Structure 1
Amino acid sequence: MAFKSILVPTDGSEYTKFAVKEAIDLAAAIDAKITAVYVLDRALFSNMPMDTAVLNVYTVLEKEGKEAVEYVKAEGKKRGVEVETKVVEGTPVKTIVEMSGDYDLIVMGTLGRTGFSKLMLGSVAEKVVRFSSSPVLVVGKPAEDRQ
């Protein structure tokens, strides 16, 4: 299977930057295009009245999302990789899984939690792996960065 389109979900965190690097390296090597997506988690706002404070938080998160996908675009440009950016509203797992059918590969980061913290917090990456219609490459911190 040829990977010509790669979806890279990002939240702008340090651990996602490892996945961004791997996705760009891969895309550069095989001449693939990347779509970077940031999902504004609708669940964070579903039970709150839309007052000024909530709108301010939403605006901050939207700005964070734009910065996260623009980071991917800038990193791609350095390597000559075409990157499309999207900031969308939804539930991260559901949105990424719904988008998965439009891409040949998903490359995403993980915190690498185990045990109780994984059980309590869940894992977006794990659920995407389970339900995605496309292959998923999950990237953790490099071994030298783990502590």
Structure 2
Amino acid sequence: MKIKRILLPTDLSTASISAFKYAKSLAEKYGASIYVLHVLENIPPVLAIHALDLTIEKVERNMEENAKAQLEKIVKENLKTKNKVQIFIRKGLVDEEIIKFADEKKVDLIVMGTHGRTGIEYTLLGSIAEKIVRKAKCPVLTVKPEKQS
């Protein structure tokens, strides 16, 4: 088994950060690169934005800048490794963008956190991790959030 490229999708939540140590450990063991990906969901047009003299473009640019800053901070704090780490931000539907990115970069493994949704929350929101497991062409390692003590 060759693992040279690991995809680490994150929604910047503490639940997704649980996957960082697994990605780091595997990258170090196999000498793999890590691609850290955050997907910004498309924003629906909002009337209030126009009243504040903001455009969708300005809001999206601000969101992307904030996400990049958060992502860089999270990576710096949680992914200290000698292996090559690259940060990417995409826009679109989360599961579709993760799959598309994995295919484009020919990743060997996806390591991602889960939120452990159940009941009505799962019914309404579904599971991104579950969609990735079903659609990905490579193996997917899902990591449950660490319990807070």
User: Percent of counterpart pairs with the same letter?
Assistant: 34
- In structure 2, what is the equivalent of residue 97 of structure 1? 99
After superposition, give the CA deviation of every residue in 1:103-140 in whole Å (9 maximum; x if it has no partner): 00011111111222111111111111111111111111
Query: Residue 130 of structure 1: SS of its match in structure 2?
Result: helix
Q: Partners in 1 of 2:73 and 2:29 — Cα distance?
A: 20
2:65 to 50, 63, 66: 63
- SS of corresponding position for 1:61: helix
Aligned residue number for residue 15 of structure 1:
15
- The alignment of Structure 1 onto Structure 2 pairs a total of residues equal to 142
Cα distance in 2 for residues equivalent to 1:133 and 1:71: 30
Stretches of structure 2 that go unaligned for 5 or more consecutive residues are: none
Aligned Cα root-mean-square deviation (Å): 2.2
Name the counterpart of 2:110.
Answer: 106
TM-score (norm 1): 0.83
Query: Which consecutive residues of structure 1, in runs of 5 or more, have no partner in the other structure?
Result: none
Cα deviation, 1:5-57, whole Å, max 9, x if unaligned, reads 00111121111111112211221122110001111111x33x44674164454
* Aligned: 1:133 with 2:141: no
Residues 120 and 9 (structure 1), Cα distance of their counterparts in 2 relative to 1, 3 Å cut: same
Which residue number corresponds to residue 80 of structure 1? 82
Structure number with greater Rg is 2
Instruction: Quote the offset at 1:67 in angstroms.
Output: 2.5
